[in-house]
A = this chain, B = another copy of it.
Amino acid sequence: MTYDFLQLNRELPAPLYQQLYHSIRRAVESGHLKAGQRLPSIRALANDLQISCTTVESAYQQLCVEGYLRAQPQRGYFVLEAQRPEPIRLTVPPGSPRRVAGPPVRYNFGSDCVDSANIDLKLWKRQIRDVLNRQEIIASYGEHQGEYALRHALSAYSYGMRGVLASPDQIVIGAGTQPLLSILCGLLGDKDTAVAMEEPGFRQAEQVFSDCGFKVIKLPGDDDGPKMEALLSSGVKLAFISPSNRIRTGMSLPISRRMELLRWASECGGILIEDDHNGELRYRARPIPALQGMGGGQSVVYIGSFSKLLLPSVRIGYMALTPELLERYRRSAKNYNQTASKIEQLALANYIRSGQMERHLRHLRKLYSSKCSRLSRALKQAFGTTVSILLQETPLSMILTVQSDMKVEMLCDLALRRGVRVGTTQNGKKILLGFAGIPSDQIEEAVQCLYAAWKDVLKKEKNKK
């Protein structure tokens, strides 16, 4: 154990032995020095702190007198069980226990987990191990913009999967969407820049915009996406769009609205930020290519990420800048440290280059397509018309409108008592069933349990025979 926490200052008026006494006392009271622990010998500590033995001895004696330490002849000084009337407060009380015990979860429809069967864990572990064995790599700093090997792999991957037109030089890597947006805000704006996004908005993006002093303007939406009149009349030059995954409906933007958005950008010199989170994860409909490529790589900044495709614990995202923004980025590139783990970046580069990523994606598409049908069928069979279902394709979840007078919160609670964990939509008004995490063969049982939990509070079906 080092004793660097002992604070002595010759410039203070208090004598050194008193300072030492207070330092040790605080360490005992805060639990940093634990009962039974032996302190360094007087000589050793004096030597270490470069003070006299008398100073250390005086402090130790005082602490013994006050019951913080006990001297054992021939053995040294030991910390006593702290039993102070008024223990020192750390600046924040420890707080409530972190996990409240509840009924055990048997079926998890939370949107924050993935089915371990979906995970290409063995291959991923091998990639990580391969990188770890290359000492020269982990013993050096990474590139500010992200590892070239990964940018190169993403240039080909994003073109192949999503029709994104970006050379490796145009791609910036980061630990997810937020750090990338932070950099982007720096490139885009002066203060008071306004950015438009469709209602209800995307919380994490809004947070970054507002932290960067941007004004966020919410656009009303219609069936096809954000209303164009609202965008035009807002007068903004910057719009944040999630074309593959609208928060409001979980639906994809049709090509017509995409073309309108591109026309808007080219006519007013505006910039579209295309958030394509898990955009390659379509399994019901054929994926619609990214706006960025449709616009020929101009006026669209594309942002992609991997959490649901790979492993939720891997935080890697990337953005493709427009030529103009790239030029600005280059001027200050060295001012931005890379946020993504170098080891994970290189593992991902190999994973993509070797074709494993594409194979895995094909597997996921099949898996999610089957899970989705299975869940939807099971829900219809169990609930009939008392529940209506809206599929959110890329978020891998279904929004349920339950015919009941019960509050949504209570419905969650009833479900949990039967061991089924379900979530709610962002506004808390509807039930959200994520199906990424639940194993395929448990879907029917889980829905049965859910029905058992809710059957007494459902409104009567009108048409049930």
- A-side residues, CB < 8 A to B, are 1-2, 4-5, 7, 9, 11-12, 30, 32, 49-50, 90-95, 98, 112-114, 116, 119, 121, 125, 128-129, 132, 135-142, 148, 156, 159-163, 165-167, 169-170, 174-179, 182-183, 185-186, 191-192, 203-204, 206-208, 210-213, 254-256, 259, 280, 286-287, 289, 293-294, 296-298, 307, 311-315, 322-323, 326, 332, 334-344, 358, 361-362
Choose among B7, B138, B160, B169 the residue that contacts A313 (Cβ–Cβ < 8 A).
B138
The 6 closest A-B pairs by CB, nearest first: A213-B213, A186-B211, A91-B297, A313-B342, A175-B339, A207-B335
How many subunits of this chain does the assembly comprise?
2
Choose among B92, B136, B326 the residue that contacts A92 (Cβ–Cβ < 8 A).
B326
**Complex Cα gap A132–B179 (Å):** 25
Assuming A129-B129, A211-B186, is B121 touching A139 (CB within 8 A)? yes
- Is the CB–CB distance between B5 and A289 below 8 Å? yes
Cβ of A135: which chain B residues have Cβ within 8 Å of it? Answer: 116, 119, 121
- Is the CB–CB distance between A315 and B287 below 8 Å? no
Can you report 29 residue pairs joining A to B where beta carbons are below 8 Å apart? A4-B160, A5-B161, A32-B159, A90-B165, A90-B167, A91-B167, A91-B298, A92-B166, A92-B169, A112-B141, A114-B139, A121-B138, A125-B132, A128-B128, A128-B343, A129-B129, A142-B313, A175-B175, A175-B179, A176-B339, A178-B179, A182-B182, A182-B211, A183-B211, A203-B334, A204-B335, A313-B343, A315-B340, A341-B344
- Is the CB–CB distance between B2 and A160 below 8 Å? yes
- Is the CB–CB distance between B128 and A132 below 8 Å? yes
Cβ of A334: which chain B residues have Cβ within 8 Å of it? Answer: 203
Cβ of A159: which chain B residues have Cβ within 8 Å of it? Answer: 5, 30, 32
| A225, chain B: closest CB distance, angstroms | 14
| A22, chain B: closest CB distance, angstroms | 12
Assuming A91-B167, A132-B125, is B338 touching A255 (CB within 8 A)? no
**Complex Cα gap A311–B139 (Å):** 6
Chain B residue with the shortest CB-CB distance to A33 = B160
Cβ of A160: which chain B residues have Cβ within 8 Å of it? Answer: 1-2, 4-5, 32
Choose among B2, B125, B210, B286 the residue that contacts A49 (Cβ–Cβ < 8 A).
B286
**Complex Cα gap A204–B183 (Å):** 12
**Complex Cα gap A340–B159 (Å):** 27
With a 10 A CB-CB cut-off, give which of A5, A162, A315 has the most chain B CB atoms. A5
- Is the CB–CB distance between B90 and A119 below 8 Å? no
Chain B residue with the shortest CB-CB distance to A128 = B132
Assuming A169-B95, A211-B186, is B2 touching A358 (CB within 8 A)? yes
With a 10 A CB-CB cut-off, give which of A119, A137, A259, A312 has the most chain B CB atoms. A312
Chain B residue with the shortest CB-CB distance to A174 = B339
Chain B residue with the shortest CB-CB distance to A339 = B175
Cβ of A163: which chain B residues have Cβ within 8 Å of it? Answer: 4-5, 7
| A168, chain B: closest CB distance, angstroms | 8
Cβ of A30: which chain B residues have Cβ within 8 Å of it? Answer: 159, 165
**Complex Cα gap A211–B184 (Å):** 9
- Is the CB–CB distance between B322 and A338 below 8 Å? no
Cβ of A112: which chain B residues have Cβ within 8 Å of it? Answer: 140-141
Chain B residue with the shortest CB-CB distance to A131 = B313
**Complex Cα gap A7–B7 (Å):** 67
- Is the CB–CB distance between A207 and B336 below 8 Å? yes
Choose among B182, B191, B203, B342 the residue that contacts A179 (Cβ–Cβ < 8 A).
B182
- Is the CB–CB distance between B7 and A294 below 8 Å? yes
Choose among B161, B212, B314 the residue that contacts A341 (Cβ–Cβ < 8 A).
B314
- Is the CB–CB distance between A156 and B32 below 8 Å? yes
Cβ of A11: which chain B residues have Cβ within 8 Å of it? Answer: 254-256, 259
Assuming A4-B160, A179-B179, is B204 touching A167 (CB within 8 A)? no
